[in-house]
Structure 1
Amino acid sequence: MQYDPIKRSLGKIFNQTPALRILFYRLLDLLLLRSWYIRRELKIKASQSAEQLNVLDAGSGFGQYDYFMSTLGKKWNITGVDVKKEQIEDCNQFFKKIGRGNRVKFEIGDLTKFVKPDTYDLILSVDVMEHILEDELVFENFFKSMKKDGTLLISTPSDQGGSDTHHDHEEDGVHGFIDEHVRDGYNANDIREKLERAGFSQIETHYTYGKPGSLSWKLSMKFPILMLNASKVFFILLPFYYILTYPLAFILNMIDTASEHKKGTGLMVVAHKK
């Protein structure tokens, strides 16, 4: 399953005006459970520091989290980095249009090569590391680029089905739901050990997308994307689908974020440079 065609189709609809794009961001914040977790951690970070923060969004995509961070305070100076030139240009244009181009900027960068020593107070990486084979090199670059007492925040699929892939069946021609990932997901101990080798300390790992969250993800993301890939006609039916299903997905998201999970298909990681 490829996400990019769906992203491009939705982008054409919601990118017509800044107001529609902001609406799109807010809809994603409601739909994506990982956004619930990420925004909670970012709010905690904002409450802990009244000083100027230099932030790196490592794998910024279409700028959803950069927009949210830009609302947390004018002292947040944000740099988004991505390998896709069209997304970088698009995000720079959008943030200039809404008057935030002076403190939210985007540039092309390969995270296996991107290093800016002692620059960032916070590095955010959302659903990125599962796409990068040389993950330990990226962790080392994060550590080098971070200031002392800086924080790394990672959201990634876990190895408990987070990518919804089944590589053992690929030889039979059966592919998983997401084909862009280089690994099925991270084990909590595995990613902790890799971050320790890179130099990080005080590493906390928490499973997300427990049973409530996994069901919510299927309702709000997996089933709609499957239907959109089957037929673009479903774009017309999509609002009615969410009217019926989202109240349940919202309740499931609330339960998931309020719970501690011994296992889950998502993983939240917070690490520090001391």
Structure 2
Amino acid sequence: MQYDPIKRSLGRVFNATPGFRVLFYRLLNLLLLRSWYIRRELKKWASRQGRGAAILDAGSGFGQYTWSLSRLGAGYQILGVDVKEEQVADCNRFFDKLGKGDNVTFKIADLTRFNEPESYDLILSVDVMEHIEEDRKVFHNFFSSMAPGGMLLISTPSDKGGSDAHEHGEEGISGFIDEHVRDGYNMEDIHEKLEEAGFSDIDCRYSYGKPGHISWLLSMKFPITMLNKSRLFFVLLPFYYLAVWPLAALLNLMDVSMQHKEGTGLIVKAYRPMQK
């Protein structure tokens, strides 16, 4: 099943004007449960941080979370990095049009090589680490690039089915979302790797428990499956979401309010200790 082509198609539709793109970001924030978790943690961080901060969006993609970060504080300097040249150029154009070019910049970077010592108060990594084989190297780079006292915030699939992987063949992991090098993180595994990199106060929690999984099926998997079968479903998509959204929102609210013994996602926070 192909998720990324559908995402790109939707992105092209909503990229017609800056206003449409902001609308797309807002819709994603409403629909995607991981966005509920991430934005909650970002608001907590911002309430403690104060006015100024340097932020790295590590794997910025279409710029959804960079946009959310740019709205948290006028004094924040944000760098978004991604390996895809076209996305980096597109995001730079878009944020320039929004008048945020002085505070928000994007550049091409490979996270296995990216290292800017003690530069960032916050590093955000959303649905990125499951795509990178050399994750230990990236975690070490994150630690080196983080200012003392800074926070790393990660959202990634867990090994409880987060990638919806259903077969392992010669081409690797196959599932709803392609191009994953692992079918999800074991909680102990990612904790150990972050600790090895030097992080402390590591907090790993499951997301996408039972309510969140049902919401994901309703708001993401079912419509994406239909769009893969026929692009004519684009016409019906607004009516589908009008019917489904109230239930999906209730399920999302339940999920972020609960402590889950298991879940298909992980929300991870880790800190670089203050220098003695």
TM class by smaller structure: over 0.9
What is residue 196 of structure 2 aligned with on the other side?
197
What is residue 233 of structure 1 aligned with on the other side?
232
Provide Cα deviations, 1:78-109, integer angstroms capped at 9, x if missing partner: 00000000000000000000110100110000
User: Contact 1:62–1:87 at 8 Å: present in 2 too?
Assistant: yes
Provide Cα deviations, 1:102-147, integer angstroms capped at 9, x if missing partner: 0011000000001111100000000000000000000000001001
The CA distance in 2 between the partners of 1:144 and 1:79, in whole Å, is 16
User: Contact 1:2–1:180 at 8 Å: present in 2 too?
Assistant: no
Q: Given the alignment of the two structures, is residue 243 of structure 1 paired with residue 242 of structure 2, yes or no?
A: yes
CA gap of 1:173–1:141, structure 2 versus 1, over 3 A, is: closer
User: Contact 2:162–2:265 at 8 Å: present in 1 too?
Assistant: yes
Structure 2 unaligned blocks of 5 or more: none
CA gap of 1:85–1:125, structure 2 versus 1, over 3 A, is: same
The CA distance in 2 between the partners of 1:124 and 1:248, in whole Å, is 29
The CA distance in 2 between the partners of 1:145 and 1:172, in whole Å, is 34
Instruction: Read off the aligned partner of 1:147 and give its amino acid letter.
Output: A
Instruction: Read off the aligned partner of 1:263 and give its amino acid letter.
Output: E
What is residue 31 of structure 2 aligned with on the other side?
31
Shift of 1:174: 9.8
The CA distance in 2 between the partners of 1:38 and 1:173, in whole Å, is 29
The CA distance in 1 between the partners of 2:46 and 2:188, in whole Å, is 28
Using the size of structure 1 for normalisation, the TM-score is 0.97
The CA distance in 1 between the partners of 2:69 and 2:138, in whole Å, is 22
The CA distance in 2 between the partners of 1:8 and 1:35, in whole Å, is 18
The CA distance in 2 between the partners of 1:228 and 1:166, in whole Å, is 20
Written as runs of structure 1 = structure 2, the 5 A alignment for 1:1-274 is 1-168=1-168, 170=169, 175-274=174-273
The CA distance in 2 between the partners of 1:113 and 1:172, in whole Å, is 26
CA gap of 1:172–1:63, structure 2 versus 1, over 3 A, is: closer
User: Contact 2:60–2:81 at 8 Å: present in 1 too?
Assistant: yes
Shift of 1:223: 0.7
The CA distance in 1 between the partners of 2:11 and 2:154, in whole Å, is 25
* Segments of 4+ moved more than 6 angstroms: 171-174
Shift of 1:166: 2.3
> Secondary structure of the residue that 2:163 maps to in structure 1?
coil
User: Contact 1:207–1:268 at 8 Å: present in 2 too?
Assistant: yes
User: Contact 1:37–1:257 at 8 Å: present in 2 too?
Assistant: yes
The CA distance in 2 between the partners of 1:124 and 1:263, in whole Å, is 23
The CA distance in 2 between the partners of 1:185 and 1:109, in whole Å, is 23
Shift of 1:176: 1.8
The CA distance in 1 between the partners of 2:157 and 2:198, in whole Å, is 22
Number of aligned residues: 273
Instruction: Read off the aligned partner of 2:251 and give its amino acid letter.
Output: L
User: Contact 1:165–1:179 at 8 Å: present in 2 too?
Assistant: no
